Amino acid sequence: MMLVAIVACGVCLVIALVRTMLGPTAFDRVLAVNAIGTLIILGIALHGFIMERPEFVDIALLYAILNFIGTLAVLKLFSTGSLGDAPPSGKK
Amino acid sequence: MMDGQLLVTMFSGFFIVCGVVALLIGSLGLLRLPDVYCRIHAVGMIDTAGASFIILGMIIHEGFTLVSVKLVLIGVFLFFTSPIATHAVAQVAHKSGVVPVGRNLARVAGTKNVRASSETKKRVTKSVRKAKAKSRGTS
């Protein structure tokens, strides 16, 4: 059952990668990369269950946090043009 | 004892299959839907339904241990952060001027591939702008 799930995760990951390659706007790519991150989290957890080493769940938790922060950071870069500093004057 | 084991396997398998179906539907939508704002729905399906069902299946398979507590943490985190991420994508896309397909869906979806559809979208936005200018001129 876990094997079926991890194969499905791989298939979905390839489909999301196709969308990342031919997404018309940058936001499609951000969205697809976010989906790829979620699928990788699931894949790491399932891999830990298949290999009988549940310590991989810690790595999956770390990836969940990193995925969220990365998506928000890229979106902030798109919207304000800078990371962390005040937005440049003139724009908004 | 044997019956309990069978029940656990059945329930975890059922939830994992539900999650796999949600994942496949979501990724198909991510590939096929015509617009950023439409694809956000598909990604939301992957992030909430697919991930939650698969993690629930893994929790049932594991039982009550430290690993299942960590899986609950992952599930809760994904459940609360993925709507925030998709909402941020929609907000930034709207701010930076991505036009929703809207009523021109049939024209955009009728084109052959994605590159052509983006061309059509540009044309559609141009025609919408022209129509707006015309209506302003007449009124």
Which element (helix H / strand E) includes B134?
Answer: helix B114-138
Q: Are residues B45 and B79 in the same domain?
A: yes
Asked if the model's pLDDT at residue A92 lies above 60, the reply is: no
The more confidently predicted of residues B43 and B97 is B43
Whether A35 sits inside 8 A of B46 (CB atoms) is yes
Whether A57 sits inside 8 A of B23 (CB atoms) is no
Question: B96 and chain A: CB distance < 8 Å anywhere?
Answer: yes
Q: How many CB atoms lie within 10 A of CB B41?
A: 13
Query: The tokens of A66 are what?
Result: 């990193």
Q: Are residues B71 and B114 in the same domain?
A: no
Q: Are residues B92 and B109 in the same domain?
A: no
Q: Are residues B121 and B91 in the same domain?
A: no
DSSP string, B100-116: P-GGGHHHHHTSSSHHH
Domain count, chain A: 1
Report pLDDT for B97: 84
Q: Are residues B14 and B29 in the same domain?
A: yes
| Contact between residue A60 and residue A44 where contact means Cβ atoms under 8 Å apart | yes
A89 is a domain residue: no
- Among B19, B55, B98, whose Cβ lies nearest the Cβ of A25? B98
pLDDT in tens, A38-65: 999 999 999 999 998 888 999 999 999 9
- Among B58, B89, B118, whose Cβ lies nearest the Cβ of A30? B89
pLDDT in tens, B58-78: 999 988 999 999 999 999 999
Report pLDDT for B126: 63
Q: Which of B5, B6, B81, B120 to mutate to test the interface with A (most CBs of A within 10 A)?
A: B81
A87 is a domain residue: no
Report pLDDT for B113: 46
Q: Are residues B87 and B60 in the same domain?
A: yes
Domain count, chain B: 2
Q: Are residues B36 and B84 in the same domain?
A: yes
* pTM for the full predicted model: 0.79
Say how many CB pairs under 8 Å bridge A and B.
140
Q: Are residues B115 and B61 in the same domain?
A: no
Q: How many Å separate Cα A26 from the centre of its chain?
A: 15
Domain range for residue B74? 2-96
DSSP string, A11-75: HHHHHHHHHHHH-SSHHHHHHHHHHHHHHHHHHHHHHHHHTT-TTHHHHHHHHHHHHHHHHHHHH
Between A52-66, A72-86, B47-61, B71-85, the lowest mean confidence (pLDDT) is in: A72-86
Q: Are residues B26 and B72 in the same domain?
A: yes
- Among B27, B71, B88, whose Cβ lies nearest the Cβ of A45? B71
